[in-house]
Amino acid sequence: MEKNFDLIVFDWDGTLMDSAEAIVRSIRAASLDAGFAAPEPHEARHIIGLGLMEAMAHLFPDADEEGCKRLSDCYRRRYLKACEEGIHLFEGAEEAVSGLREAGFLLAVATGKGRRGLNSAFEISGIGHYFHASRCADESFSKPHPGMLFELMEELDTVPERTLMIGDTTHDLQMARNAGVSSVALAHGAHPRENLEPLDPLACLNGFDELRTWFERNLHV
């Protein structure tokens, strides 16, 4: 049976990697390191998925460019320490990705991480080899701008109608909408279901068990 999509694009943090809580802790600790008041946890969760400088500018609107850079540097140090202590893929993530690759889909990552951070995450997780391409916020536009998706579709020679975005934040779903791409939301990450559903994903699922069932029913994997 013919597949509805050729290219499936995943977000990373909060979608494949169970990192949202570590990011929130790192942001709050970094803000104090840099001399700023710590944001509330829900405020820190909201910016997950944005490029780092854009995230800091959103959280700390009174910070100048130098202040945002200092915040970003402090965040990188805190998050690196969190990674060393252990951050893991969601249960079932690798099986889902490998199954899609074996079924013949093109796979990509579009993330708010920087390139160095994503390359490190690929190495730590061991799943980087499944992806045909990736785009990061420091080499393209930050979400929800559709630039990363446009670049991935051009590189992998596909079109919006044959592309599916899978993410856990409103930034992911808005990026997909801006690119004319269908989306599936995972509610196990940074943003709650009540924020994801109004953006009309094809499905809003609780985790990889439900996602794999959705793949079987809709992608014939």
Is residue 1 scored above 60 in pLDDT?
Answer: no
Q: Encode pLDDT of 152-191 as tens digits.
A: 999 999 999 999 999 999 999 999 999 999 999 999 999 9
Is residue 25 scored above 70 in pLDDT?
Answer: yes
| Cβ contact 52:92 at 8 Å | no
The rounded mean pLDDT for the chain is 94
CA–CA distance, 75 with 77 (Å, rounded to integer): 5
Q: Which fold has domain 20-85?
A: DNA polymerase; domain 1 (1.10.150)
Q: Encode pLDDT of 46-77 as tens digits.
A: 999 888 999 999 999 999 999 999 999 999 99
pLDDT on residue 142: 92
Is the pTM for the entire model greater than 0.85? yes
pLDDT on residue 3: 60
CA–CA distance, 195 with 22 (Å, rounded to integer): 21
Largest Cα–Cα separation, the chain: 58
CATH number of 7-18+90-218: 3.40.50.1000
Let me know how many helices (H) and strands (E) the chain has, helices first: 10, 6
Q: Name the DSSP class of 145.
A: S
Q: Encode pLDDT of 73-120 as tens digits.
A: 999 999 888 887 888 999 999 999 999 999 999 999 999 999 999 999
Is residue 5 scored above 70 in pLDDT?
Answer: yes
Domain boundaries in the chain?
Answer: 7-18+90-218, 20-85
pLDDT on residue 171: 96
Strand order in the sheet with 7-10: 133-136, 106-111, 7-10, 163-167, 182-186, 204-205
Q: Name the DSSP class of 162.
A: G
| pLDDT band at 220; cut points 50, 70, 90 | confident
DSSP SS3 for 167: strand
Residue whose structure tokens are 């391409």: 133
CA–CA distance, 221 with 208 (Å, rounded to integer): 14
